[in-house]
Structure formats: structure tokens, C-alpha cells
Structure 1
Amino acid sequence: MRAERSASDLPDDIAIEPAAPDDRIDALRVLDAAMLETDVETVDAAIDAGDALVARFKRTNAVVGALVATRPDPTRLHVDAVAVRRARRGRGIGSALVARAMRRGETDPEIAVVTAEFKRDLEDFYTDLGFAIGGGVGSEASDDVDGEVGGGDIDAVETERLHGRYPVDGGGADAVGTGERRR
């Protein structure tokens, strides 16, 4: 249960829970305010699959954070978008949202790895949660989600995106992405 370590840092007045269909607009607003590109269909599918989470301010029931995960293949849970309202940032809410998604991956017998793609300035955030970080996306120094590292130029552009991988213990395929089932 490596993903639980940041959940204890969550403020007492915040609850993390699966998003319900009624949370769709609030989750989209939080993601939009963070300038994340997420479409309604992706959010709806994640809510239906139980792969969308919200952080709620307990006193008012307001959604102050949201996470949307997708399943690009049956053995991978991908953190597609995570955001926290600006006034609530720096309190561990984003970490708790990602940690809960990681726990979901750990408890789903089909999931072998939780992945994320993010800007370089979020590398420490994901590293602190236990993700292994690969090279950038869209640069010559890239690391695809199957763990194959591409060679290349170390002077990547500032918009370079990185891949993070968090292998889970009970997943259906091996952590290096070969697609073979664990025994």
C-alpha cells in the first residue's frame, strides 16, 4: 500500500471520493480552470467506470479538486488529468487524489501499472508519490509507456512532457509492460 502515504496529509475538511454523474460539471470546471484539455466524453466515461475522483470541501460539499483516469488498455490505469482549485493548492489535495488512483490500481487485479504524462515542473510531485520517471514526450529523448527509452538530445524544449510509471503489486501484467500475465 505504497500509495497511502500522502492520503494521511489530507486536510480534515477535505474528502476524496469517486465522482458521481452530478459531479461532472464541477469536475470539468476545476479541470478547465487549470487549463487542462479534457473532453466531456472522457470525463463521463471515467465517472461511469469509477475512474474519476473528486476532492470535496466537507462543510459546503463543493468540489475543490478532480482527477480523471482512463484505461488505454486493460492492464493500465492512466492519470489523464488532475487539478485542484488555486485557493486550495499546496495542501496535499492533488497528492491525495493521485494516491487514491494509485490505490485503485493496486486493488484492481487487471491493472499492472498506473501511468501519467505531465510537464517537467511536476516531476518532483510524481516522484514523491512513487512514480518512476521516463524521458519526455514529443522530444528526441523520449520514454514510451512500455518502458523503451529512446536516445537523443538532452536539450529538450521547455514544453517537454514526461512519463511516470507506478507498477502495482497485484496487477494482471508485468510491470515492464511486456503484456505477459503475472503468476
Structure 2
Amino acid sequence: MSNDATSPDALNHGAGVVVREATDDDRMGVRRVLDAAMLDVRADLRERIAVGDVLVAREPTREETADCVETADRETPILGALVLVRRNDAEEDAAGDDATHGDDAIHADATHDDTAHVHDAHIDAVAVRRARRGQGIGSALVRAAAERHARLTAEFDPGVRPFYDALDFSIAPVEGDSDRLRGRYGGEG
């Protein structure tokens, strides 16, 4: 998917939002959404954005809702954000134990290449503005990530299990941590 905010591939009419890769201009909006959800913000957020591992959701502009894909003069605020870590990056980082910004956040040093969208990925964070929760925005972000990766994983608290259940994730307790769950989507269990 291109970084063009008005790419036809970016539209997700099911939730009434545009989902696209974040750009460096979106970084503060992504931080605000993650901060408001009380989620750790990755120290390497800029790098994650640069390699296409951060997706954002926003309301479509008038041009986009009219099925026109001309570049919009002004973007609408970010309503939700999803941060991915490609599985091969996460495994390397876990071996190096370089987590410096949260118990389950993993610092990754990835490079962007043409095969980036076929790797398995871990959902490091997904958040939606409080006033827009329950409207399908988080689901739209996860579905967009699933279109890019063969398999997705996520670790989360039991309170958000219904969100992952509704997305058909296979869910099991995290081994050795009775307060966390691990979800898998796509591919072999």
C-alpha cells in the first residue's frame, strides 16, 4: 500500500474511516492516541513509521467520500493507530532482551524491503480515541494489518479479549503469566 493518504486501497468504508500507513507527519497524532489509551509509546516509533509498520485511521475528507482520490488539502485528525513489529524483528529483539519501554513492548531495528508485507507480525499496540471506541475503527486497523501479513499475534489483558474474539483470533493464556493472553490470527496456529 502506498503512503498516499487518498489511495483507493486506503479506504475502509465498513468502519467509515480511511486506514493507511502513517507518515512522519502523523507521529505526534499517533503518540497522542497511544498516550490517551495509556499505552507505552515505542522509543523507535519514528523507525516503525519509516518502514511502514504503523497504520492510522482517520475520517475521510469530503474528496474521499465523494469517491474522488485527489490529494486532500487538509487531513482529518487521527482516530486510531496500530503499531506492528514484524515477527522476525521481534524474535531477534527478544533474544537481545532490548525492551526499554514496557513489559511487553519489543524494540526492533528493521529495514524496509519489498517483502515487508508478507512477514508475520506482532501487534505491539492498537488504540482508538475514547469518543470513537466501539465504532469498528480498531477492527478496521487490525483487518488492514491482516491484509499485509500472513499471521498476526498480540498479547493483551483479559479485558480486551472480546475485541480479539470478535476478530476471530485464537486465544490462549501466556505461558508463565496468568494475567495476560496471547492471540493468533491467520496461518497455522
Please indicate the TM-score interval, normalised by the length of the shorter structure. Answer: 0.5 to 0.7
CA distance in 2, matches of 1:77, 1:39: 16
Q: Which amino acid is the alignment partner of residue 186 of structure 2?
A: P
Q: 1:39 Cα deviation (Å)?
A: 2.0
After TM superposition, list the pairs within 5 Å mapping 1:78-157 onto structure 2. Answer: 78-106=122-150, 113-136=151-174, 138-139=176-177, 156=178
Aligned to 1:163: 182
Q: Which amino acid is the alignment partner of residue 66 of structure 1?
A: A
Aligned to 2:58: 56
Please, which of 86, 93, 104 is the counterpart of residue 71 of structure 1? 86
Which ranges in structure 1 are unaligned for 5 or more consecutive residues? 1-6, 107-112, 140-155, 169-174, 177-183
Q: 1:35 Cα deviation (Å)?
A: 0.2
Seq. identity, %: 44
After TM superposition, list the pairs within 5 Å mapping 1:26-41 onto structure 2. Answer: 26-41=29-44
Q: 1:28 Cα deviation (Å)?
A: 0.7
TM-score normalized with structure 2 length: 0.66
TM-score normalized with structure 1 length: 0.68
Aligned to 2:23: 20
Which deviations, in whole Å up to 9, do the C-alpha atoms of 1:12-63 show, x marking residues without a partner?
A: xx2111101110111011000000012241x222212211100112245111
CA distance in 1, matches of 2:77, 2:27: 12
Does residue 24 of structure 2 align to residue 9 of structure 1?
no
Q: State the number of aligned residues.
A: 136
CA distance in 2, matches of 1:127, 1:9: 18
Q: Which amino acid is the alignment partner of residue 58 of structure 1?
A: P
Greater mean alpha carbon deviation, residues 22-31 or residues 48-57: 48-57
